[in-house]
């Protein structure tokens, strides 16, 4: 079973992200939201669809990241990150998401129209 974790931003400016257990009162909400994420990915990815049909939230991290990246590049999915510019909370996961999910310039086709 893959264990979900909560990220806490410590330090004066949130510069130290630390992983801890999800608070007990939020565990079920997190499981429900993860199943929603899996459902959104399953609409376009047969690999994830199998997990969704079995209501299995234990999708390996590498499989989930690969699916999100593929669907983001195909413009079928848009990952959203929460954070705050105040004290830089959430900036580190956002930057990790840019690296993990967005295409580099060689992976997309640029198109221009000449009027």
CATH code of 92's domain: 3.40.50.300
- Can you tell me the mean pLDDT for 74-85? 90
Structure tokens at 8: 């806490």
Residue 8 bridge partners (DSSP): 18
* Lowest-pLDDT range of 56-60, 65-69, 88-92: 88-92
In a domain, 112, yes or no: no
Residue 84 bridge partners (DSSP): 89
pLDDT at 77: 94
pLDDT at 80: 93
Q: What pTM did the predictor assign?
A: 0.83
Domain containing 31 equals 6-103
In a domain, 113, yes or no: no
The model's confidence at residue 2, banded by pLDDT at 50, 70 and 90, is low
In a domain, 55, yes or no: yes
In a domain, 16, yes or no: yes
Q: Around 104, how many Cα atoms within 13 Å sit in the side-chain half-sphere?
A: 3
How many domains does the structure of the chain reveal?
A: 1
pLDDT at 13: 82
- Can you tell me the mean pLDDT for 30-43? 93
Residues 26-36 pLDDT 10s: 999 999 999 99
């Amino acid at each position: 079973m893959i264990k979900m974790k909560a990220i806490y931003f410590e330090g004066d400016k949130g510069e130290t992200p630390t992983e801890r257990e999800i608070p007990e009162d939020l565990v079920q909400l997190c499981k429900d939201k993860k199943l929603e994420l899996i459902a959104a990915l399953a609409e376009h990815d047969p690999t994830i669809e199998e997990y969704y049909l079995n209501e299995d939230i234990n999708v390996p991290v590498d499989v989930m990241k690969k699916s999100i990246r593929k669907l983001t590049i195909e413009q079928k999915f848009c990952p959203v990150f929460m954070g705050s510019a105040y004290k830089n909370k959430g900036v580190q996961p956002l930057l990790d998401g840019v690296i993990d999910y967005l295409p580099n310039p060689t992976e997309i086709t640029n198109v221009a129209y000449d009027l």
